[in-house]
Amino acid sequence: MPPSMAAAFFLRSLNKDKELTGLIQTLYDSKPFDIFTVTKHVSLEHTRRQNNSEEVLFNKPSNSKDDDKKNSKANDNQSRGKRRNKKKKADPKSAAVSTRNQTAHAVSSPEETVDPQENSESDTYYLPIEGFITDHRDRSQKIYLDSGCGRSVVNNLSLLKNPRPRNMSVKTFGNNVQITHHGTLNFFGFDIFPVSYAPQGPVNLISVSQLIDHGLRPIYKNDVFLIKSGNSIVATFQRDGNLYSTRSPTNVAWYSSPRAIKDWHSLYGHPSDEYLRHILKQNNINQSFISSKNCEVCRVSKLERHPHSRSLPATPSPFYKLHTDILEINVPSKKGYRYVLALLDDFSRFNRIVFLKSKDQA
């Protein structure tokens, strides 16, 4: 069995897991598409799930009197339960739930962890951890797919590149929102323009109609929106409550810095040096500019060169030199003509076209 067919059968067996739908659709477009590449990505996803389900126990000290009262009541109830039934075992499901809750609280508040040496008298065992490594992603990095809006709006200015000031008010998010900037959104390698920036906007919205205008196709499949460009998948929008969202492709902020425009030659459409000096003198501009001799575009297009070195013809009289060429017609005409003879006089530029049935008639 070839590796590609084995990879297809392997991905087909994973269709029951809805959480892997986006990964499966992406792996179908992977290059090279073989069993080794597919199993590698699936094993990485399995490792990520195992790391998320690891049970780590943290103990949080009480900082208020109310917490002390709650902890004392809980200890009394626990001691009473032990007296009633000492052989009763703890429910593993409830223990796992409490462990997840404590773990989530500890990750969200890493500054409240306790040194294990401070509570050495308690019965709780501590796992010595010096720090936390978490994938912190702000909500402002999420992008929500919206089929009802005709304009993409973001509330995070770092998602836009080359933002330009624009003061206007639009009706979106169910209310009038003030727009302060316009820019370009880098959507997984595709530049979506224009995209508005609303500081008071609750979320980042990307318009479906705007994606279609830029050559992308949204497809709904297996409770996931796939954004395609041709046969390749650009992005996947997973269901997030009643909406469909994805993460921004980069956490690096695009920015633009203002700089002085010194290339006046290119700015005014590659004029001659004399004409450009006249324009700069009228506008009181004393900056240096790139001359047409040093301009690569002008040298390639030969803007300052004449098409011929001499304006007068090189031949002394008409029909002194003729330029001829014979062209063959693939489909013969009704009268049987299969060739075309083109004649051009070098002196007068007089030309004629003659149809021939065979080359020997030339």
The closest of 80, 29, 55, 43 to 232, measured between CA atoms, is 29
Please check the confidence at residue 13 and state whether its pLDDT lies above 60: yes
The closest of 117, 113, 131, 18 to 58, measured between CA atoms, is 113
193-206 average pLDDT score: 89
Res. 339 pLDDT band, cuts 50 70 90: very high
Report how far residue 73's alpha carbon sits from residue 29's, in angstroms, rounded to the nearest whole number.
58
Helix (H) or strand (E) holding 301: helix 296-301
Question: Which residue ranges form the domains of the chain, and what is each CATH number?
Answer: 3-52 (no CATH), 140-247 (2.40.70), 264-301 (no CATH), 322-361 (no CATH)
The reported pLDDT for the residue numbered 150 is 79
Res. 125 pLDDT band, cuts 50 70 90: very low
What is the maximum alpha-carbon separation in the chain? Answer: 127
Report how far residue 345's alpha carbon sits from residue 97's, in angstroms, rounded to the nearest whole number.
95
Identify the bridge partners of residue 235 per DSSP, sorted by sequence position.
227
Q: Determine contact, residues 343/331, Cβ cutoff 8 Å.
A: no
Q: Which of 3-12, 73-82, 298-307, 312-321 has the lowest mean pLDDT?
A: 73-82
246 φψ region: left (φ > 0), alpha (ψ -120 to 50), beta (else): beta
Cα angle: 262, vertex 266, 269; to 5 degrees: 140
Report how far residue 29's alpha carbon sits from residue 24's, in angstroms, rounded to the nearest whole number.
9
The closest of 154, 198, 153 to 178, measured between CA atoms, is 198
Q: Which tops the pLDDT comparison, 267 or 208?
A: 208
Query: What residues contact residue 56 under an 8 Å CB cut-off, 6+ apart?
Result: 99, 103, 106, 127, 129
Threshold 0.75, pTM exceeds: no
Query: What residues contact residue 32 under an 8 Å CB cut-off, 6+ apart?
Result: none
